[in-house]
Structure 1
């Protein structure tokens, strides 16, 4: 029997050390026993990557969502189902893989209406079909709180996988779409602020950038990539640390949803675009010589560039002043984080 000697390194509680530290510790534990077919293991990217024959690989991710922390009361059952699949497909998109299928596990309350459960299933199915895949199986049981775990599986060539690691000084920093709408929707719901149904839908029905990720992977133009479901700021730090680079973001180039400009002031808009989550866009770096060709693939915004690591994570403000971007965002243990 293994001894369970405790020391200062493994004391404390979940809330005292935070999600990132828990992921780091568990990843170190699990990563010590990986077999040769695991190309990318726990903790280092949006998905795990397993070797296949003929230079192919399988890309796998999983996410757990809960009624109290992830699904506001205003969400329909269909939207709950859609979001449960979308969050997993967004991780697949971040590696550039084509989805093969999604497994889903329901923990449902005994008092749940069958119509409600079927609505969730329909939302799951519709989201999977929208992105060229399907629900291929899973599990159900009863639970004290609605809990849904999804596992998405994708496929791609090994030499096309895009990781968080790979950006180099001089690379161009980009995002796939507008930022801040999902965070604004959550703020509006919690504070009784009136916003359009389009803004609310951006939070309740996220659109993972699956096809954009596939195009970038096939092109070979991108040097690093990840999804920004936890917010732009945290994603900047993840890419910077994985790639050993600094990043400069131009405030005036951050693509902010136009509808928000009549509701929030300038400082609020900046905070929403940097520190709120749920937009499910992709952040990526491009080889500078490939930027023009990449613009033919799909619409995206150039928001800055990669620099030397010691320059840090910097916001080039509209006033011309430079300031550090804080390392914070939408990060709660219940809401985010795959090992």
Structure 2
């Protein structure tokens, strides 16, 4: 048997192995590598959250994106992790490798996109690095702080809690499918994919409520996120098909209900928040138009399943968007 290659290792398994090597003995590190959407560092009476993400032209930026949208996306993937923690964004570092033959105007537009996304999230780009690279590569590092609220964590879901999501599901996946199949859609249809919105305001509200028991973002797809939460909290999930807030874009391009469900469950890029709430407290949040209750937390042994309109209990597969076709995130 030959030497094990990275391409043959599942992304999450690869990350687990590297995290096992890295570790952390620093008492100021509350949450270290690989354990949540962000690392958490204790700074005096507050907590600092930090996350980083690397994007590449060939694998992460679909054809048709403008330079400004590329910059926006590079910032948004990081701020979405900050949102998932319920933290207040306080800055973004950006290290960019530019192809030497890229026009300056395009590089400037990428910077404007990062600036605009940071501004939308209530902060700014505070520094970084530039270099020459064969392929456009952008690594963002976002910072946030607890700002007096209890941070949201992936761990903490309890049997009987209700499962909720913000916004709608599958819009980015529908846009990508339309793009790849050369469907006749307008620029507004593609915005869900090209200009994802980090749910900073929603994350802050959820953290301030004190009622959320676990949370993460859905950038890798609802199904994959459910499995990640299940593993971290040692629980299972029962999701109701009839309750899923499927994006109108999905309904426009899907040929049948099975295709709609596939996009809602397994396509990534939505940047919504998936979270669990104590059932006795959910009424306090029900007035918020941005959330939908889609299921409930069950015992770990029951796995992650979907209750269909015919009351069938079907297993939800552990699949979604994975970076390891070309890159990974720790």
TM-score, length-scaled by structure 2: 0.96
- 1:59-98 pair list within 5 angstroms: 59-98=49-88
Partner residue in 2 for 1:257: 247
Q: 1:246 aligns with which of 219, 227, 236?
A: 236
Q: 2:13 aligns with which of 5, 11, 21?
A: 21
CA distance in 2, matches of 1:57, 1:272: 36
Partner residue in 1 for 2:22: 30
Q: Deviations over 1:31-51 (max 9, x none)?
A: 1x4310000001111100000
Q: Does 2:131 match 1:141?
A: yes
Partner residue in 2 for 1:280: 271
Q: Does 2:148 match 1:154?
A: no
- 1:167-182 pair list within 5 angstroms: 167-182=157-172
State the 1:11 CA deviation.
4.6
CA distance in 2, matches of 1:222, 1:335: 34
Cα pair 1:181 1:279 within 8 Å, conserved: yes
CA distance in 2, matches of 1:336, 1:153: 22
Aligned length: 329
State the 1:260 CA deviation.
2.7
CA distance in 1, matches of 2:182, 2:119: 34
Partner residue in 2 for 1:226: 216
Q: Does 2:294 match 1:303?
A: yes
Q: Does 2:307 match 1:316?
A: yes
Q: Return closer, same or farther for 1:336/1:320 CA change in 2, 3 Å cut-off.
A: farther
State the 1:337 CA deviation.
4.8
Return 5+ residue gaps in structure 2 as ranges: none
CA distance in 2, matches of 1:258, 1:222: 28
CA distance in 2, matches of 1:60, 1:269: 35
CA distance in 1, matches of 2:81, 2:66: 23
Cα pair 1:65 1:149 within 8 Å, conserved: yes
Q: Return closer, same or farther for 1:196/1:267 CA change in 2, 3 Å cut-off.
A: farther
Cα pair 2:178 2:185 within 8 Å, conserved: yes
CA distance in 2, matches of 1:30, 1:121: 32
Instruction: Tell me the SS of whatever aligns to 1:288.
Output: coil
Instruction: Tell me the SS of whatever aligns to 1:333.
Output: helix
Cα pair 1:233 1:326 within 8 Å, conserved: yes
